[in-house]
Amino acid sequence: MSHRHFCDVAGHYWQCEGTACVPATSPDGSWILYLSRETPEINSTTPVHIMRVPASGGPPELVLEGRGIDRQSCARSPANLCVFSEPTSDDKQLIFSAFNPMHGRGRELTRVSLRQPNPGYDWELSRDGSRLAITQFDDREGQIEVLPLTGGVAREVDLKGWNRLWALAWAADGNGLFIDSRDHPLHYLDLEGRSHAVWQQELPGCHLTRGIPSPDGHYLALRGWTGESNVWMLEGF
């Protein structure tokens, strides 16, 4: 989404979402993949590197370079697909391309038209590598587009009464998504549009959460927010 920040590490900026950096792992789990660039600002012409580092530890290595890359995602073994997105030069489309952590850029997979002006988006590859889910931030509606990568027809999933969708993550079984918005607690959404609340952020007025399921689907990692306030009384100044 457009609400991304980057951690400055040794003169380079690692992709972050909110305040937490969000790398990806290769399908076999042997590599950690992250985005790196030399400036905090990003647009469709900014050089961005996808880097890899061994999960067991070691120096980072270059996978590929592109322009304006702001997201990457990988399927889970036995699937072997990894995908990254980069905008067209006019910011009107988002191009999804395959890549291999060892061999670099692959073929273009599909494109999505971006709303104008582009308010931000989030997307994720399903764990079997067969589908992409993408949502675009919109003040009027909440909609997710599911794009098949192995044949079939794209479908739209509408969340009636929702808007301002902020983040999504595929459930481990591929039958639904964990959805967060600016105005609702974290929900689970099936692909027929039925949803139920999973977790309510404790901090009043703050709904910017995210849920990421474990590979076996038995656990859900939650990102929440906390707040602290302190008051000091000064005398004799």
Give me 26's structure tokens: 């290769």
Q: What is the pLDDT of residue 14?
A: 41
What's the full length of the chain, in residues?
237
Alpha-carbon torsion angle 76, 224, 164, 229, nearest 10? -160
123 within some domain: yes
pLDDT tens by residue, 193-224: 888 888 876 655 555 677 888 888 899 888 77
How many domains does the structure of the chain reveal? 1
Helix, strand, coil percent content, the chain, rounded in steps of 5: 0, 50, 50
**Which domain does 217 fall in, by range?**
69-223
Reported confidence tier of residue 3, pLDDT bands at 50, 70, 90 = very low
Q: What is the domain-level CATH number for residue 209?
A: 2.130.10.10
What is the spatial distance between Cα 229 and Cα 123, in angstroms, rounded to a whole number?
35
218 within some domain: yes
235 within some domain: no
Span between the terminal Cα atoms of the chain, in Å = 47
201 within some domain: yes
Predicted TM-score (pTM) of this structure = 0.80
Q: What DSSP line would sit under 49-112, residue for residue?
A: EEEEEETT----EEEEEEES--EEEE--TT---EEEEEE-TTSSEEEEEEEETTTEEEEEEEEE
pLDDT tens by residue, 62-107: 999 999 998 999 999 999 999 999 999 999 999 999 999 999 999 9
Q: What is the pLDDT of residue 115?
A: 85
Non-local CB neighbours of 219 within 8 Å, separated by 6+ positions:
213
pLDDT at 147 > cutoff 60: yes
pLDDT at 177 > cutoff 90: yes
| Strand, coil or helix: 216 | coil
| CA torsion through residues 131, 137, 138, 139, sign | positive
Q: What is the pLDDT of residue 141?
A: 76
Q: What is the pLDDT of residue 16?
A: 45
112 within some domain: yes
29 within some domain: no
Reported confidence tier of residue 119, pLDDT bands at 50, 70, 90 = confident
Q: What is the pLDDT of residue 234?
A: 83
182 within some domain: yes
Closest CA to 121 of 71, 186, 77: 71
What is the spatial distance between Cα 207 and Cα 53, in angstroms, rounded to a whole number?
33
140 within some domain: yes
